[in-house]
Structure formats: structure tokens, C-alpha cells
Structure 1
Amino acid sequence: MSSVSATGELPIVPQYGRQTLSDLLPSIAYQFGVGDTDRLGLGAGEQWVVVLVDGLGTEQLEQVASRAPFLSGELRRAQVITAGVPSTTVTSLTSLGTGLPPGGHGVAGFTCRLPETDEIVAPLFWSSAMTAREFQPEPTVFEQLAGQGVAVSSVMPSRFEGSFLTVAGLRGGEVVGIDDEADQLLRITRTVEAAERSERSLVYCYERELDHCGHAYGWRSQEWLDCLIRIDRWCSWLRAELPEEVRLIITADHGMVDVPDDRRLVVEAEPDLLAGVRQLAGEARFRQLYLEPAETPRAVARRWADRLGDAAWVRTRDEAVAEGWFGPLSDRVAGRFGDVVVAMAEPAAVLTEQMPGEFDLVGMHGSLSSAEMLVPLLQPE
């Protein structure tokens, strides 16, 4: 099956352990004597603030550089890292928190199959009886550092405290809840206070608005640009308020692709594609197919590849694992990943009526294109 799209693009396969979002916190932890490698070469620091801007891809920032002078100015001297696969928030945030690739922590996408109960579950909207710690039992880097006496804080909307995703992927340390996300001064104040509460500290700060604007209006919209301008100013303000010795990292969980209406396939309108498929999950740009027991993954993958052509990178699970898409795949979570995965290579999407919210999205992500996978690792001084 072809790896090259009609535009000549190859899938961006993450370099886990060297150049991905999952390598960030282990690199910081090394500065506190936890772990054995500074994977990203960050260098020394005793106080750290990590700001994650949901949806801020490197390519999008480059294309509007003049409108976001602080962030784009830092981009000129920054590392570029990648998200994991799929390039989606729940997977990326868990990779950030645990320091593990998706194949290790098992948060396999916006939705995925839970083999133990045969349910399709969504970590953002959890409905299964399985607890967050049962779903993702691996220790987080936050837990490890807090256990070594580092003052760990997470500055986030108050309603996220105790949420399934927070407990599964970001647990550990103190949650600093923000009731009003629009109160930018309060967020600055709380972040600075958290950084200064100990000589050894790590603060994680989550900014979610850009992703919402991208989904609703597209990343090329004025609404998205206005949001980025606000975030750019806020990040500049934060750097000015933080003491000089506090290391500031600004990164993201994924980028985004705007998908036009005429590049949207509705899978229910394609009965041949559903032959042998028992369950669908994932996202519109990274569809995961769970097959009937008698079905052969290779045959289903070939059928999808023939239909989608250069618009998609179609792989069986075994092929995707062999190519390194998910990192080493734990037996505990292998069944959460589709028997066949369909990653869109062009600005296109495979929608399903089982997830009606997808039809309202303009900007999407989840696949292995450079627009979705490449994220900045900014270190403003």
C-alpha cells in the first residue's frame, strides 16, 4: 500500500524517545535526578513552566508568523518535535503526562474500543465502569516528580480537576483550578505563584481555546487568528512576569487541517467499506476499524486503500506497529487500536453517522501529515 500521497507527502512517523511530545517531561525530570536521559537536550533548570497550547501546529504558526510575533520569533531558534499517533488531544496529553508513546499508555484516540467490555469509549466523555486508573495505570511523570519532593502544579480550568482524562494521564501534584478562563491576569498570577512556591518546581498550564476555534471555524479563519493573537500576547506577558531563572517551555499537542465539504466521505454511504467491520472509532482523519472475527485485516485494508487511493495511508495494526506509528505496543492495550487504521494523507476525512459532531468540524486532526504532526518546542528566555 502506498505511503506517498498525491501531493508527494510521506507520513510523519514519530521518533519516540528522541523527538516527540512524550519526551518532554522525561527530559525535565532528568534535571531533578529522575530518569537517565535528557532526551531533548533541554539543559539544567530547577523551576519549570510548561504551557501547552492545544492545536498550535508548527506549520500554522509559520504561516501567520507576522501576527504572532512573540511565538514566531521564538520559533526561529526552536526545536520542532512531533505529536504521537493519532495526533489528537487525549492521546497527546497522556503521552505528555506519562512520558510514554501511545502504544505504552493505551489512550488510543478520541474514541477507541475497550476489549474488556467490547465498548467504544471516549476518554473526554467517559461512560464505562472502568476507572481512569484501571484504564491507564502507568505512573505519570508528575507523580514521579512529586514523589521526589518537586512542587508539581497543573493550572487548568477548574472543571477539569478530577476528570477522567486528568486522572488517567495528568494525575500527580496539585491542581490549580481557574474558574474563569478569560481572566488572563488570574491565570498569569496563579502560574507564577505555582512556579515560585518551591525552589524545585514544575508547572503545567493548559490553553485550550485555539483548538476550539480551529474546529469551529478552521485554522485559516479570522476567529482562529484572533485567538492566536491573544495567546501570543498572553505568552509574552507570562514570560515577562516569570522570574528569569524559571525555564518556560511552550509547546502543543497537534496541528490542524481544514477539510472542505467536497473532501468528506460518509462511511455509511459506502456499504462496501463497512463489509466485515464490526465497530468504528477514532476520528475523521484517523479512522480505526475493528473487524468481525472471521475477517482478514489485510483484505479490509486493501479494500479501503483501493477506494481512498492516495488520499489515505491505510495500514493493518501490525503494519502500523512495524512502521513505528504507536511506539512499542503493550499487550495490555493492543486491542484498543484498530485492526485496520485509516489515516488521511490529504485534506480529506472519513465521517461516520455514529459520531454526528464530526459533521460540524471545519478544522480536524489525528493523522500523520506534517500539518498535524509537527509542533513547536519554544523556550523563550
Structure 2
Amino acid sequence: MTGAELQRSAETLAVPVPRYGAGALADLPGSVLASLGVPGAVDVLGLPAVPRVCVLLVDGLGWEQLRAHPDEAPYLAAMTGGPITAGFPATTVSSLGSLATGVPPGEHGLLGVQVAIPGTGRLLNCLRWQDDSVDPETFQPVPTVYARAAADGVKVAYVARGLYRGSSLSRATTRGADYLASDGPGQLVGRTRTALRRGDRSYVTVYHADLDAAGHQFGTGSAEWRFQLRFVDGLAQQIAAALPPGSALHVTADHGMVDPSERVDADTVPELRDGVALLGGDARCRYVYSEAGAHDDVLATWTAMLGDRAWVVSRAEAVDGGWFGPIGPGMLERIGDVIAVPHADLAIVASEREPWLNEMVGMHGSLVAAEQLVPLLSTSRP
């Protein structure tokens, strides 16, 4: 680090870093394996030992949003548990990677919605994965906990929409599990129940996306989002009622969400384009890839333009600060040279390059509690 970066690093020590190894989403898979008796697994989260485990991942169910709406989610509100941290960035791609591998984003390499493909000068959208030249099983090289459990004789299943089956992101994050396509709530509960009853030990992950979709389209303060939360609450209750004996249900999420009202448009502010080769990440976590020799200028400009509304740091500062956890081989170059993370009521959009993102109401990705904290709620059937 340069002297200036060391000074800036000291100034950013107050950034709330995810609790990797002590209470993060990446700690849940290993704790589940330990609860199932898989050798070598470590139960960081103190989960009870049971032969059957179901993890319900509700996309977009932040801890703060859940606590703010107890009337819409009475069953979830009554469950035992509390908050854990999602990981950085607080977004679906990164969290699905951690749920699949049991390691932080810096190790599995799914470091956000849009990341650089090193050495190509191109971005990869990890949700849409519109680049056949990038092999998902190479891009995300860490073995999954599903494969590890299956190797120990656990029956492993992943229950989600048929739309996602066989997608590149699913290949990166669900390999090792039997993918059970479920396109309605009845199917989802029924297939979860069946999967849990297979074999002497079973591990079932259920992924539900509708709450996140409502938040993006209407915002977390909307009636539509609150009604969808009611459906999620009912889903959790139905899965709990369908648990076979000797089962535990753990409900968690990949991130929370905020509804930023202020926007900075990188496509209409010339200063935010100067020296920038690629703009990746998301509206609440921007990866800025600078042109050769322009790094210091880009960092200074983005810092000046965003002021006290965002944490703007160099890649080295974020890595040294532990934002991503340990960095795996070849992963460093995927991260932007400059990282801009709004902590105020702000989204960094690019209206011309990303019109789909510019239209969203609810957003996520930052390190603030509303996006970073997710629930870990549990119930069991003896």
C-alpha cells in the first residue's frame, strides 16, 4: 500500500465488515454438515445434531425488514434465532456461492453481479451469464458442500424453479445436489417433504425468489412487498409442518434491501467516466476498473464526487480490510480497481448501459445493516 492508502485504510476501519468465521452466511453450510455428522465439518453456528436438515433461503428477506413487519410474518417472528451477516457484496450471486461452498466470496469468486473476466476487457453478468466462453465450474472452482455431504452418504437435494435448472449460475452453485424443479408453492413444499424423507440422512436447500422480485419492482415499503412477505411466512410454516421426524428447518436469506431515493448516473456525469475502462458491480456496490495509469485519478475523482455518501476505496484497501474474506487464487483481478459502496440514501446507476437496473426501486449490495443482516431462524421436529 502507498502512504495515502494506509491513511485512508485507517479512516475506513469503521466499515462494518461481515462476520466471516463467526456468524456469516458462509458459516451456515459447514454448520449444517456438522449437524448431520459429516466428518471434518465445523459447527460455527451451534446448530443441533439431527439426521435431516432443510435450509429455506428467501431471496431478499433482510433481518431489519423482517423485524419491521411482524404482523406480516407472525410465524417467522416466533421462530428461534437472530441475525447473521450475508457477506460482501450483499447480493444473490455472492450469497448463493457462499451457501454452496461454505466459504466467503473472496474464495469462491462469485464476487458480484458484474465482474471482470480477467485478461479479456469484458464483464461477466453472473446472474444472466451471457458468455458461453466462461465455464461455470471453472469460474467457481470450489467444491460444493452438497458434493461433500453426498460423498458421506447424505441424500442431497436443491428445490427451486425449473427456470433455473441447468443455468450457468446453478451449475456454479448447485452441483452435487439433485435439482428438483418446483414451479409453485404446493410443488415446492411437496418436493421438499419427499426429499427430506430419502435415506437415513438428508440435506435439502429450498430457494424462493418472489420476495426479492417484489422488492426490486415495488420497494420494501410497498403493499406488494408486504403481501409477498405474508406468502413467505406461510411457506415457512407449511414446510415446518411437513418436516418428517428428526428434522430441522433453518430459514435464512441472501441479503436485505433498501429503497434509495437519490441517484448518481455514471452515464451522464463525465467525471465518473474519465479513466474508466469498465463499470461493474451493482448500484449499491460498484466495481470501477480503471484504464492503465489512471487508477489514482479514478480513485480521487470518485471519492470527491461521492463525498460522504459512500465508502470509496481501492481494491487493496477492501481486501486488506477483510470485506471479501480470504482471496482465492486468480480471484483478485475480478474485483474493481476502485470500489464504491453507498452507505447513504444513494444508488450509483448507469442509465444507458444498465436500463434494467435504473428502473429498480429496491436495491442491495452494500455493507450497511439493512442490506447486510439476514435472519437465521430455526425450528425442529423431534
Tell me which interval the TM-score lies in, with the shorter structure as reference length.
over 0.9
Question: Pick from 296, 305, 321: which aligns with 1:323?
Answer: 321
Name the CA distance, whole Å, in 1 between partners of 2:210 and 2:347.
Answer: 23
Question: Pick from 7, 10, 17: which aligns with 1:13?
Answer: 17
Cα distance, 1:252–1:93 mapped onto 2, change above 3 Å: same
Partner of residue 250, structure 1? 251
- Secondary structure class of the residue paired with 1:38: coil
The one-letter code of the counterpart of 2:112 is G
Partner of residue 124, structure 2? 121
State whether structure 2 residue 371 is matched by structure 1 residue 372: yes
1:134-156 Cα deviation digits (max 9, x unpaired): 11111000011111111000011
State whether structure 2 residue 277 is matched by structure 1 residue 272: no
The one-letter code of the counterpart of 2:177 is G
Question: Pick from 64, 89, 92: which aligns with 1:86?
Answer: 89
The one-letter code of the counterpart of 1:359 is N
Matches for 1:227-266 after TM superposition, within 5 Å = 227-260=228-261, 263-266=262-265
User: Unaligned regions of 5+ residues in structure 1, if any?
Assistant: none
The one-letter code of the counterpart of 2:362 is G
Q: How far does residue 189 in structure 1 lie from its aligned partner after superposition?
A: 1.1
The one-letter code of the counterpart of 1:100 is V
Name the CA distance, whole Å, in 2 between partners of 1:101 and 1:117.
Answer: 25
- Secondary structure class of the residue paired with 1:335: helix
**TM-score, normalised with respect to structure 1:** 0.94
Name the CA distance, whole Å, in 1 between partners of 2:9 and 2:172.
Answer: 36
Name the CA distance, whole Å, in 2 between partners of 1:143 and 1:197.
Answer: 16
- Secondary structure class of the residue paired with 1:27: helix
Q: How far does residue 284 in structure 1 lie from its aligned partner after superposition?
A: 0.7
Question: Pick from 147, 151, 158: which aligns with 1:147?
Answer: 151
The one-letter code of the counterpart of 2:15 is P
Q: How far does residue 274 in structure 1 lie from its aligned partner after superposition?
A: 1.8
Does the 8 Å CA contact 2:144/2:174 hold for their aligned counterparts?
yes
The one-letter code of the counterpart of 2:140 is Q
Cα distance, 1:59–1:4 mapped onto 2, change above 3 Å: farther
- Secondary structure class of the residue paired with 2:378: coil
State whether structure 2 residue 142 is matched by structure 1 residue 138: yes
Name the CA distance, whole Å, in 1 between partners of 2:328 and 2:294.
Answer: 23
The one-letter code of the counterpart of 2:92 is T
Name the CA distance, whole Å, in 2 between partners of 1:327 and 1:286.
Answer: 16
Percent identity (aligned): 41
The one-letter code of the counterpart of 1:133 is E
Does the 8 Å CA contact 1:2/1:313 hold for their aligned counterparts?
no
State whether structure 2 residue 230 is matched by structure 1 residue 226: no
1:191-237 Cα deviation digits (max 9, x unpaired): 01100111110000001000000000001100000000011012112
Aligned residues: 370
Higher deviation after alignment, 242-251 or 47-56: 242-251
Partner of residue 103, structure 2? 100
Cα distance, 1:4–1:293 mapped onto 2, change above 3 Å: closer
Q: How far does residue 34 in structure 1 lie from its aligned partner after superposition?
A: 3.3
Does the 8 Å CA contact 1:11/1:370 hold for their aligned counterparts?
no
Does the 8 Å CA contact 1:34/1:145 hold for their aligned counterparts?
no
Q: Displaced runs of 4+ in structure 1, greater than 4 A?
A: 1-5
Name the CA distance, whole Å, in 2 between partners of 1:79 and 1:45.
Answer: 20
Partner of residue 201, structure 1? 202
Name the CA distance, whole Å, in 2 between partners of 1:163 and 1:269.
Answer: 34
- Secondary structure class of the residue paired with 1:309: helix
Does the 8 Å CA contact 1:2/1:310 hold for their aligned counterparts?
no
Q: How far does residue 35 in structure 1 lie from its aligned partner after superposition?
A: 2.6
Does the 8 Å CA contact 1:10/1:369 hold for their aligned counterparts?
no
- Secondary structure class of the residue paired with 2:159: strand
Name the CA distance, whole Å, in 2 between partners of 1:23 and 1:249.
Answer: 13
The one-letter code of the counterpart of 1:327 is G
- Secondary structure class of the residue paired with 1:257: coil
Q: How far does residue 331 in structure 1 lie from its aligned partner after superposition?
A: 3.3
Name the CA distance, whole Å, in 2 between partners of 1:272 and 1:318.
Answer: 23
Higher deviation after alignment, 363-372 or 237-246: 237-246
Name the CA distance, whole Å, in 1 between partners of 2:160 and 2:336.
Answer: 31
- Secondary structure class of the residue paired with 1:21: coil
Name the CA distance, whole Å, in 1 between partners of 2:38 and 2:178.
Answer: 21
Cα distance, 1:366–1:225 mapped onto 2, change above 3 Å: same
Q: How far does residue 90 in structure 1 lie from its aligned partner after superposition?
A: 0.7
Q: How far does residue 3 in structure 1 lie from its aligned partner after superposition?
A: 9.2
Question: Pick from 28, 34, 45: which aligns with 2:32?
Answer: 28
Partner of residue 355, structure 2? 356
Q: How far does residue 2 in structure 1 lie from its aligned partner after superposition?
A: 9.1
Does the 8 Å CA contact 2:63/2:374 hold for their aligned counterparts?
yes
